[in-house]
Amino acid sequence: MKYKQELEEKEQARILVLEEKTLTRIARENASTRLSSLQQELEMEHKLVMDRKARLMQQLSDLKISSAHLLDYGISKGESSQNFIEKIPDHRRCTICFQNEVSILFIPCAHQVVCFDCSGSMGDSCPSCQVQIAKKYVVYN
């Protein structure tokens, strides 16, 4: 009788060990899946950051070029660039270069916050509200 009881206890212990091994294996698989998911998410975030950095570097380059053109325009017209910039009211200045007058209307958000020069170098979303731009219209005042 005691022998039978010992066998049953050993069998229960073996079953518990098997269940533990199964749970451990499942936990490892879940952790591995989660790790893989986090690595993919990290790679996507890194790509987004690098794309944003490239876009900002391009905007900076365009801004430098735009600034140089503005200075050339002011000098050729015989006036300082500061006087030329001061003629544009603050609410009508481009939010990218802060020098030219806004002239592009974004659809669907209807924001008018960038000049023609900066509209070509910016991304696909409105710099004011981040909504995806469907169309751009040139607006004349």
Could you tell me the residue ranges of all domains in the chain? 2-138
CA 115/CA 100 separation, integer angstroms? 6
Q: Is the pTM of this model over 0.85?
A: no
Task: Give pLDDT tens digits for 71-82.
Answer: 655 545 545 545
Which range is least confidently modeled, 32-36, 51-55, 72-76, 94-98? 72-76
Task: Give pLDDT tens digits for 113-132.
Answer: 898 888 888 888 888 898 99
Question: Class assignment of domain 2-138?
Answer: alpha beta
CA 56/CA 59 separation, integer angstroms? 5
Average pLDDT over residues 58-70: 75
Q: Answer whether residue 70 shows pLDDT above 70.
A: no
Average pLDDT over residues 47-61: 89
Q: Are 67 and 117 in contact (CB under 8 A)?
A: no
> Among 113, 112, 119, 81, which residue's Cα sits nearest to residue 94?
113
